[in-house]
Structure formats: C-alpha cells, structure tokens
Amino acid sequence: MVREIRPFVVGRRLTGVRASRRRLRRPWSPAWGRRLRGREILDVRRRGKWIVVDLSDDLGLLVHLGMTGRLVAVPAGAPVASHTHLVFDLASGGMQLRFRDPRRFGAVCLLRGPQGVDRFFLESGLGPEPFGVDRGYWRCRLAGSRRCLKAILLDQRVVAGVGNIYADEALFAAGLHPARPGPSLAVDEADRLRRALVAVLRRAIRGRGSTIRDYVGGSGRPGGFQRRFRVYGRTGEACFRCGGQVCCLRLAGRSSHFCPRCQPLAPSPAVPEGPGRG
C-alpha cells in the first residue's frame, strides 16, 4: 500500500482535509485537519502495521488499517466510496489521498514534534521489524514466554507487523505446530521459524499483499498473495506438501490453520534414539 501511494503523494502539499462524522477507533480531531493544511508530505513509510506519513514542520500522520481499512491515492474527481472517513486534498496532480474503513477498527492520528512518531512506537512497546531480527533476540523472546507460537507471533511487542495470515503461513513453512509453547523449541527450530517468517513476508510483499474479501493496495488493485496460501483458509483441503487434511484450531482468539502431519505438536526427534538412552 505504501509503495503504491508514495509516487502520488511524496513532495505534494496538503491543501485540505475532510472528515466524516463517524467515529474511528481513535477519534479524528478537527484540530488535526487545520494543522495539516499547507504541510508538505516528505515521505510515506511503514512501521509494523502502521503507515507513517512524514510531514513538514515535524508533524507525523499515523494510519492503522485494522481489518478493513484502506488508504488509496485516486483522482480528485473519482466517486467517493461508502465508509470513506478522511479525504486529503493534494496540491498539483489532481489527486486525493482517501482513508476508507467499513468496520472502523482502523485509526488515524496526528503526532507532533521531531520525536513524536518515534515516541509513540516506543511507548506502545512496538517490537522490531521482522527482517532485521537476530537469532539471539528471537531465541530469547521464544524462550522467555510460556505462550504458544501463534500468540507469540501475533504479539506486536515481540515482532512488528505479523497478522493472522502470515503467522499461519510462517508456521507451516517452518513445519511447526501453532500450539507449541515457545520454550519447547530447539535452537534450529527457532531459527527455522525466523527465516520462514521473513521469507513468507517477503513473498507476500512481492505479491502486493493478500486479498481475501476486499483488500486493495494504494492504487486500488487487489493483492495476489492469496493465491499462494498454503494453509490459511484451507480448512479440510489437502495439504500441498503431504496430502493430509489442513486443520483449523482456535488459538490466541484467532482461527489457526495448519497441517497436523507437517506441523506435529510433539517435536520430531532430531537424532534417532540410541539403545542405551532414555
């Protein structure tokens, strides 16, 4: 979404903002609209599940999409879709940045000061981006909690940006059962999970995200990674790897898809048991 929005908005000035009456998870303040007017968009970037719009005069606009949020750059004359809560007018180019969110689990807020955005992430305890996580940190976070892997992956303080789809896909790619407790992982299993997570996320980004119902990127195009799902949403279907049935469990309050044969609950013995051991 960020990549598709960026070419239309970076370097442009905000000339006006209109907000709907509907209340978002974090209510939009009309004062923010006044403060935004005339500011230049310096950059658009992502941190975890947050979209950060860096503005001139040390302002930062944060956008969280929740479940159904979308941020699109469209021509100013395009029809305004239902559930459009914020419309940002951009100087020159005739484009608008629009935030739409039918379920209103999303949030948009404006932060001030040179460290406003950084402080926000620090205070919320947001974890590191998955791509730069080192083995030591990862092992430590897995061992330091008795929670199951699914819950750990979804915890934004452990690693930022992983949601339900990519947690399930990463666990399948690593061959690990989502209900395994973090401390039960051997060193090589922990490392497998870290690498699988990075690989799945990279592939998903290359595929421009996953469209299950209504997700679209910043240009309004649906994603393509949903065609690559190995387990997510495939309950009862045949596992692509072993042909067994994909199962679904409720873990950490979320549906968790996995193949019980490829992702055994008991860790597979790394070395066959010798006669004198046990």
Partner DNA sequence: ATAGGCGCCTGCTGGC
Partner DNA sequence: TGCCAGCAGGCGCCTA
Q: Which C-beta is closer to DNA: that of 90 or that of 231?
A: 231
Q: How far is the CB of 160 from DNA (least distance, A)?
A: 9
Work out whether 109 is an interface residue with DNA (CB under 7 A). Answer: no
The token pair at 32 is 């923010």
Separation CA 215–CA 254 (nearest Å): 19
Work out whether 64 is an interface residue with DNA (CB under 7 A). Answer: yes
Give me the sheet containing 59-64, strands edge to edge: 41-47, 50-55, 59-64, 107-112
* Cβ atoms 60, 104 nearer than 8 A: no
Burial zone of 155 (CB within 10 Å; 0-12 exposed, 13-18 middle, 19+ buried)? middle
Which positions from 116 through 135 interact with DNA, judged by CB under 7 A?
A: 124
Specify the residue for token string 């992702």. 263
Which positions from 20 through 49 interact with DNA, judged by CB under 7 A?
A: 23, 25, 49
Q: How far is the CB of 217 from DNA (least distance, A)?
A: 11
Q: Helices 187-206 & 164-174, crossing angle to 10 degrees?
A: 130
Size of the site for DNA (CB under 7 A): 36
Over the Cα atoms of the chain, what is R_g? 21
Work out whether 86 is an interface residue with DNA (CB under 7 A). Answer: no
Letters for 157-196 (x = contact with DNA by CB under 7 A, - = none) are ------xxx-------------------------------
Rule CB under 7 A: which residues touch DNA? 23, 25, 49, 64, 66-68, 82-83, 102-105, 124, 145-148, 151, 154, 156, 163-165, 210-215, 250-255
